[in-house]
Amino acid sequence: MALPPYSGEIDGENLPLVGLDVCAYGCYHHQHISEDSSCALVVVPFRDETIRDKKRVKRTVCIPMYKSIDWPRSSRNSISKLHFRDHIRTYTQKYFAAEPVEEAWEDAKSSESGGGQDQDQDQDQDQDQDQDHDHEDGVRLVQHLIACAEAVACRDKSHASILLSELKANALVFGSSFQRVASCFVQGLTERLSLIQPMGAMPPMMNIMDAASEEMEEAFRLVYDLCPHIQLGHFVANSTVLEAFEGESFVHVVDLGMSLGLRHGHQWRGLIQSLSNRADGEHVRRLRITGVGLCDRLQSIGDELSVYANNLGVNMEFSLVKKNLENLKAEDIEVRKEEVLVVNSILQLHCVVKESRGALNSVLQIINGLGPKVMVMVEQDSSHNGPFFLGRFMESLHYYSAIFDSLDVMLPKYDTKRAKMEQFYFAEEIKNIVSCEGPLRMERHERVDQWRRRMSRAGFQAQPIKMLAQAKHWLLKNNICDGYTVVEEKGCLVLGWKSRPIVAVSTWKC
């Protein structure tokens, strides 16, 4: 039986749709369509960024639509008409994949011990029932969340508003890890719905942390202190910089974003201390740090670092380029012939990625022109810059679910530090990804392979990082909780949570 076509407008584009189902990873695959098949495919055209010879290359993605889905306590025949919002089986199975394994392990353990007391069995049954209930609530919440995303994408204000009111009652800030991450996505969908009318041209925004409130700044400091995402990047970056400075007397660091505006310049204190501990014959005669960014406190951070360096016997100079990366010019950064130069970028370059590659290419060409010995880059390793809202929504939902899962393991449910990180830092990223378009969307995270292509086009060559053993030792030394892993992927170091990539560290040479 042929499926009836459905046409609708998504993000301003008229596309042929048939019960859209975007899978968890944003991965679409081909499969033959037949009448008895449990899955039908939709071919949705989209346009590639690449333009060659004034011809735009067309692609298609095939999106599966399931005719049936085995929800708890429901039968296949009970759903007469299925849409995008109903088809989340792939995501749900992956999200709860660990549960059956844990249950099977507990059963095996119980059978080896000859069975427990009746009271223990009753408790196990109660726990199983609670887990089943939580699973059903989780499935229902995911279902409503994705349904709301579809309604917002189709500009169905009335339906989206109804779903949002239901979601706000169930996506609890102090609930389960998924309820908490859902609350952040509800905020983003709410904002996107309110901005559904075209707003015209908007001026480019600063990096989120450049104009952060006190709550956001405190939340970011907590993320830095409690999560390994940025600290591992600083560790690998400093090790790479020290290797580049080995045996050199005049050294220069250009820091894009100036360590994200963290108070006291955490990253460079470690570098300064390492330089001060060198043998007398390798003493650094001068360290220069050039900070780039709009954060008001960058000058005070540089002055504080200069005092710290001088107290350790390191002659340090600090200069500030108070510009965002899009407005950076080659003449803004002073380069001296006797110096060895390195460039440091921690969670910065994704903010310069736009629909056209002009802004990013300009920045990368300026950096290349400086002739650095090495460039260190740390970026979120996820695809949050896709051309379509729904695919971007699903990818970010899975990415931030992993982060919120890690917070669930590290901190208690009612810990205020956890709530601050979730609601004042990660929620801000989520809202920017979900609710904003055009120049207002700054959080344009991309995967390592995409960065490799971008860097290659700008004239950079990948320089493999041979620090996997040191990075693993760093995780153990700092008592990073179980679940975090670090692997080497095509010369990059990738920090992940239970196989889900979170951030990637890469190094480049001209």
CA–CA distance, 91 with 167 (Å, rounded to integer): 18
Q: How many domains does the chain have?
A: 1
- The encoded tokens of residue 11 equal 């993000």
CB atoms within 10 A of CB 389: 19
Residue 327 lies in a domain: yes
CA–CA distance, 20 with 65 (Å, rounded to integer): 6
Residue 141 lies in a domain: no
Residue owning tokens 């699973």: 135
- Rounded (10°) CA dihedral 440, 442, 444, 450: 110
Give this prediction's pTM: 0.73
Range of the domain at 374: 227-382+445-509
CA–CA distance, 185 with 179 (Å, rounded to integer): 10
**Helix (H) or strand (E) run with residue 43 in it:** strand 39-52
Q: For residue 33, with 0-12 CB atoms within 10 Å meaning exposed, 13-18 middle and 19 or more buried, which class applies?
A: middle
Task: Mention every residue, 6+ apart, whose C-beta is less than 8 A from residue 300.
Answer: none
- Here the CATH number for the domain that contains residue 358 is 3.40.50.150
Residue owning tokens 């999560």: 227
User: What's residue 114's pLDDT?
Assistant: 52
CA 332 to chain CA centroid, nearest Å: 30
Low-confidence stretches of the chain (pLDDT beneath 50): 1-102, 105-106, 109, 116, 126, 130, 198-206, 208-209, 211
Residue 375 lies in a domain: yes
CA–CA distance, 89 with 23 (Å, rounded to integer): 9
104 pairs with which residues across the strands?
A: none
CA–CA distance, 150 with 146 (Å, rounded to integer): 6
User: What's residue 92's pLDDT?
Assistant: 41
User: What's residue 351's pLDDT?
Assistant: 92
Residue 84 lies in a domain: no
**Cα distances (angstroms) measured from residue 239 to each of 172, 479, 487:** 41, 20, 17
Residue 258 lies in a domain: yes
Residue 196 lies in a domain: no
Residue 421 lies in a domain: no
Phi, psi of 469 (to 5 degrees): -65, -45
Residue 249 lies in a domain: yes
User: What's residue 151's pLDDT?
Assistant: 95
